[in-house]
Structure 1
Amino acid sequence: MITGIPLSSIRVLLPVKAFAQAKSRLDLPAEQRAVVARRLFAHTLDVTLQCVRRQQVFVMTNDPSVRRAATARRAQTLEDPAHDLNRSLELALATLRQRFPDDTLAVLVADLPRLTAPVLTTALLNAASSLQPRHVVDQHGTGTTFVSLPPRIDLPMLFGPGSAQRFAEVGAAPMLFPPPAITHDLDLLNDLNALPAHQKEHLCPSTPSP
Structure 2
Amino acid sequence: MTGWTAVVPVKPWGLAKSRLDLPGEERMQLARAFSLDVLDVVLAAEHVDRVVVVTAETQLGTIARRAGAHVIVDRPMLARGLLNRAIDAGRQWAQVHAPAAPFVVVPGDLPALTAQLLDDALELLAAQERSFVPDASGMGTTLLAVARPALMTPSYGHRSALLHSDAGFRPTPDVDPRCRRDVDTAADLAQARHLGVGPHTTAALAQMTRVTSDGRRLRVASG
Report the TM-score when normalising by structure 2.
0.82
User: CA shift at 1:42, angstroms?
Assistant: 1.1
Alpha carbons 1:120, 1:182 under 8 Å: kept: yes
Q: Say yes or no: does 1:26 pair with 2:23.
A: no
The RMSD of aligned alpha carbons is: 2.2
Structure 1 residues 1-210: aligned runs within 5 Å: 6-7=1-2, 9-52=3-46, 56-80=50-74, 83=77, 84-127=82-125, 129-151=126-148, 153-194=150-191, 195-196=193-194, 199=197, 201-204=202-205, 205-208=207-210, 209=212, 210=217
User: CA shift at 1:35, angstroms?
Assistant: 0.7
Which residue of structure 2 aligns with residue 3 of structure 1?
none
User: CA shift at 1:67, angstroms?
Assistant: 0.5
Q: Measure the CA separation in 1 of the matches of 2:38 and 2:86.
A: 20
Q: Which runs of 5+ in 2 are unaligned?
A: 218-223
User: CA shift at 1:48, angstroms?
Assistant: 1.4
Compare 117-126 and 102-111 and name the one that shifted more.
117-126
Q: Which runs of 5+ in 1 are unaligned?
A: 1-5
Q: Measure the CA separation in 1 of the matches of 2:202 and 2:154.
A: 33
Compare 134-143 and 175-184 and name the one that shifted more.
175-184
**Percent of aligned positions that are identical:** 28
Q: Which amino acid aligns with 2:172?
A: M
Compare 50-59 and 110-119 and name the one that shifted more.
50-59
Q: Secondary structure at the match of 2:53?
A: strand
Count of residue pairs brought into register by the alignment: 203
Report the TM-score when normalising by structure 1.
0.87
Q: Measure the CA separation in 1 of the matches of 2:49 and 2:148.
A: 18
Q: Secondary structure at the match of 2:14?
A: coil
Alpha carbons 1:138, 1:145 under 8 Å: kept: yes
Q: 1:125 to 1:40 in 2, by over 3 A?
A: same
